[in-house]
Amino acid sequence: MTQSISTKTILKALGTASLFGACLASAQAEDSVTIYGRVVAGIDVQSNVHQANGNTGTQVRAASNQWGTSMIGFKGKEDLGGGLNSFFLLESGFGATKGATNGPELFNRRSYVGLNGSAGSIKVGKNLFIDNDVWFLDPTGQQWIGTANLVHGRNWGGASNIIEYQTPTWGGFNATFQTSLGEKAGSTTKGRKDGVSLVYQNEGLELRAIYDLVRDANGKYGSIKTNQDGTTTAGNVYDSSKELILGGTYTIDKLKLYLGYENLKAPDVAPGSTDKVNHYWVGANYQLSPALTLIGSVFHVNANNNGGSANLYMAGLNYNLSKRTLLYIGAGTVRNSGAGTFSLEADEAGAPLAGQSQTGGYVGIAHSF
């Protein structure tokens, strides 16, 4: 009798444990927290780098974020039932070669919380500004030789104090709306950013339209520039402006084609300064093998009022050693005309003298986790 009771007790305990384990596994599948990141480093070379003494020379340096920024992040979600989920994301970028963060904030790229359901998703916090969606139109994937160069980084900024809403996808269409509050007493426009991104996808075709407004500390476009140290200087079209980006991609088997256009307008800059910029590009990616992708692109910019013009040519490759590790090579040349001082790489630390050309490239390794 005792043996029989013990057996039943054990069987009940095992059954309860199995049920609890199944419930726990289900909860873990629905609710999760993930640590992720990427480390990128290599070697970079640029010619005709402008030096403090007024001369130019070739610069060799450790490459940190040329292929893409190193980063570490935390993300999670919770199933609230009824098709509704809550989520969060915290992300900080850094340079692997020096170990320094890309900005003074703890989470300098993204830090937001939100809800997602059948009606779409909403985010509140800090995020990349909406024009970073140009990434989908960039043949290089926003490398340092890419769409940001000829607009002095205008299309890859960040945005604090954001409220962002993304619609569900209907018939291949979806839209994202973003506002970044300026938080200035007595004004709803000073320092404020707003934007919308529209997407249409149908099999191999993807079309995008992005329109955004970046206002300066006066609530205008290009009237003043606020530097990182809090000082102010004359504004410019690349710092605060109205921006329109149009473009698309088309995938045919192993070939992906890219086409893009960007327009900047800053009506409040000082008289005679550049207030309009037109930027065009075409490019392609070709998957030569499951591990190897070839990259090629051509960019052109024209800035009015003696702002100069330039052509940028880029070729590169990505070689995947595994699902998480790849080798990359990027090389290019920028040909400036007139007063153009556009640099080969988007950090602008090595910009050439006005009208001069610049050639160089980088090679390195990227590991994601």
Per-residue 3-state assignment (H helix, E strand, C coil) for 28-78: HHHCEEEEEEEEEEEEEEEEEEECCCCCEEEEEEEECCCCCCEEEEEEEEE
Overall pTM > 0.85: yes
Domain membership flag for residue 148: yes
Range with lowest mean pLDDT among 6-10, 39-43, 108-112, 283-287: 6-10
Domain membership flag for residue 279: yes
Q: Phi first, then psi: give them for residue 204, nearest 5 degrees.
A: -85, -5
Token reading at 63: 């490459």
Token reading at 148: 């940001």
| Residue matched to tokens 């992720």 | 36
pLDDT for position 30: 62
Strand partners for 115: 86, 122
Residue 167 reports pLDDT greater than 90: yes
Digit-coded pLDDT (tens) for 42-69: 999 999 998 888 889 999 999 888 999 9
Angle at 29 between CA 27 and CA 32, to 5 degrees: 90
The Cα–Cα gap between 297 and 284 comes to 6
Tell me which amino acid residue 331 is.
A
The Cα–Cα gap between 354 and 253 comes to 42
Mean pLDDT, residues 341-363? 89
Q: Please report, for the domain that includes residue 260, its CATH number.
A: 2.40.160.10
Residue 16 reports pLDDT greater than 80: no
Percent of the chain with pLDDT over 90: 84
Percent of the chain with pLDDT over 70: 91
Exposed, middle or buried: residue 141 (CB in 10 Å: 0-12, 13-18, 19+)? middle
| Residue matched to tokens 């009606």 | 119
Q: Between these two residues, 17 and 190, which has the higher pLDDT value?
A: 190
The Cα–Cα gap between 45 and 97 comes to 15
- Average pLDDT value over all residues in the chain: 92
Domain membership flag for residue 244: yes
The dihedral built from the CA positions of residue 266, 267, 268 and 273, taken in this order, carries a sign that is: positive
Tell me which amino acid residue 70 is.
S
Residue 19 reports pLDDT greater than 60: no
pLDDT for position 226: 86
The Cα–Cα gap between 336 and 353 comes to 9
Digit-coded pLDDT (tens) for 70-104: 999 999 999 999 999 999 999 999 999 999 999 99
Per the structure, the count of domains in the chain is 1
The Cα–Cα gap between 130 and 93 comes to 18
Tell me which amino acid residue 87 is.
F
Digit-coded pLDDT (tens) for 174-212: 999 999 999 999 999 999 999 999 999 999 999 999 999
The dihedral built from the CA positions of residue 130, 197, 91 and 327, taken in this order, carries a sign that is: negative
Domain membership flag for residue 17: no
Q: Phi first, then psi: give them for residue 104, nearest 5 degrees.
A: -75, -20
- Looking at the chain, the number of H-run helices and the number of E-run strands are 1, 20
- Please give the residue range of the domain that contains residue 308: 32-368
Digit-coded pLDDT (tens) for 293-343: 999 999 999 999 999 999 999 999 999 999 999 999 999 999 999 899 999
Residue 18 reports pLDDT greater than 60: no
The Cα–Cα gap between 213 and 31 comes to 37
pLDDT for position 182: 96
The Cα–Cα gap between 189 and 187 comes to 6
Q: Are 106 and 125 in contact (CB under 8 A)?
A: no
Contacts 24+ apart (CB under 8 A), 284-287: 284/139, 284/255, 284/256, 284/257, 284/258, 285/139, 285/255, 285/256, 285/258, 286/254, 286/255, 286/256, 287/254, 287/255
Distance, first Cα to last Cα, the chain = 56
Domain membership flag for residue 18: no
Domain membership flag for residue 1: no
Domain membership flag for residue 19: no
Closest to 310 measured CA to CA, from 152, 135, 134: 152
Domain membership flag for residue 20: no
pLDDT for position 347: 76
Mean pLDDT, residues 259-267? 99
Q: Between these two residues, 69 and 230, which has the higher pLDDT value?
A: 69
